Structure 1
Amino acid sequence: MINVLFVCLGNICRSPMAEAVFRHLVERENISNKIKVDSGGTGGWHIDEVPHIGTRKVLDKQKISYSGMKARQVSKNDWNDFDYIIAMDDQNIKDLQKFNTQNEDVVVAKLMDFVDKPKEQEVPDPYYTGNFDYTYELVSEGCTNLLQYIREKHNI
């Protein structure tokens, strides 16, 4: 089982969007028995909250489920539980360092690192930009490429 964790600041906009999109792709390809998906935030302000209304609207428009998703904060245990920890921006990467247990087997990267010639190096936070559609566009491209990378690397 390959375990993937998406991370942003508060776990209500970008990372739950990525979790939902990635899970949708995994289910569509009938490989849910091989890849587990979750998301978390580096901060704890929104623990137990459902995804932001903007994220829910975009996912509803795309017919992608976010059922049962609630915000949680990243913990040190995540370095034991996940093979991939995928952040949305450079600040998330820096913030993740305080949780890292130095498990060198875990791949820590930004989502846009998996996109050739990305429009952005980071996924902008729609909590501040208000542009959930653009965030979805970037997340969707990143998740598609990440899944392809994982399938090739792990022969799935």
Structure 2
Amino acid sequence: MKHIAVLFVCMGNICRSPLAEGVLTHLAHDEGMSRQITVDSAGTGSWHAGDAPDPRSIDVARQHGIDISRQRARQVKPADFETFDLILAMDEDNLARLLQSSPERHRHKIHLFMAYAAGRRDNVPDPYYGAEDGFLGVYNMLLAGCRSLLEKIELDRAS
């Protein structure tokens, strides 16, 4: 299998995208694919740059054996469009922002996460302003999506 670099993107890079990064990294490790996949996350906004993930994201990840506490939020930068093979937005708003800010030659890399991974045009809801159970729901959605994504990556890279 060839190497692939995946970037998950949400608004502030403290809830959904760091959780997705942790889930895919964990699944890739469990499947023995850590050397074939580079995973990172970023936000379209910069207001949380340098911050750790939301404590509720850290907690839900930890409950499932995943440590995302050392991640730090960052904003998408122009070099990301060159570096990453696959850039996956958590929702339609961030997808639009990515498409607007990316060079045209790299737009083929940018997709809505659930549409690309699972064939469903679903947004991963932002749990930030909700209760803790929203983070568990997002985790479960990301887990299912990342499992599908990993299978898709394996199939695409094997061919």
Same fold (TM over 0.5): yes
State whether residues 59 and 65 of structure 1, in contact with CA within 8 Å, keep that contact through their aligned partners in structure 2.
yes
Matching residue's letter, 2:39: V
Separation in 1, partners of 2:26, 2:123: 22
Amino acid at match of 2:68: Y
Deviation, structure 1 residue 98: 3.4
Name the CA distance, whole Å, in 2 between partners of 1:14 and 1:105. Answer: 22
How far apart in 2 are the matches of 1:23 and 1:107?
Answer: 19
Hey, what's the Cα distance between the residues in 2 that align with 1:123 and 1:37? 18
Q: Larger deviation: 139-148 or 9-18?
A: 139-148
CA-to-aligned-CA distance 1:49-94 (integer Å, 9 cap, x gap):
0010110010010011214210000011111100000110000001
Kept in 2, the 8 Å contact 1:111–1:139? The answer is: no
Residue 44 of structure 2 corresponds to 42
Residue 101 of structure 2 aligns to a residue in which SS? coil
Residues 67, 128 of structure 1: CA spacing in aligned structure 2 closer, same or farther, 3 A cutoff?
closer
Unmatched tracts of structure 1, length 5 or more: none
SS of 1:127 mapped into structure 2: coil
Sequence identity, in percent? 39
State whether residues 87 and 111 of structure 2, in contact with CA within 8 Å, keep that contact through their aligned partners in structure 1. yes
Is 1:19 the counterpart of 2:5? The answer is no
The Cα shift of 1:17 comes to: 0.2
Asked if 1:146 is matched to 2:149, the reply is yes
1:127 paired residue number: 128
TM-score by length of 2: 0.91
The answer to whether the 8 A contact 1:80-1:103 is kept is no
Please list every run of at least 4 consecutive aligned residues from structure 1 whose deviation after the TM superposition is greater than 3 angstroms: none
One-letter identity of the residue aligned with 1:129: G
Q: Is there any run of 5+ residues in structure 2 with no aligned partner, and where? A: none
Relative to total residues, which structure has the larger helix share, 1 or 2?
A: 2
**TM-score, L = length of structure 1:** 0.93
Q: For 1:30-69, what aligned pairs fall within 5 Å after superposition?
A: 30-69=32-71
Q: Which amino acid aligns with 2:155?
A: E
RMSD: 1.6
Question: Take 2:129 and 2:7, find their aligned partners in 1: how far apart are those partners?
Answer: 23
Counterpart CA distance in 1 for 2:99 and 2:19 is 23
Query: Quick one: structure 1 residues 36 and 106, their matched pair in 2 at CA, closer, same or farther if it must change by over 3 Å?
Result: farther
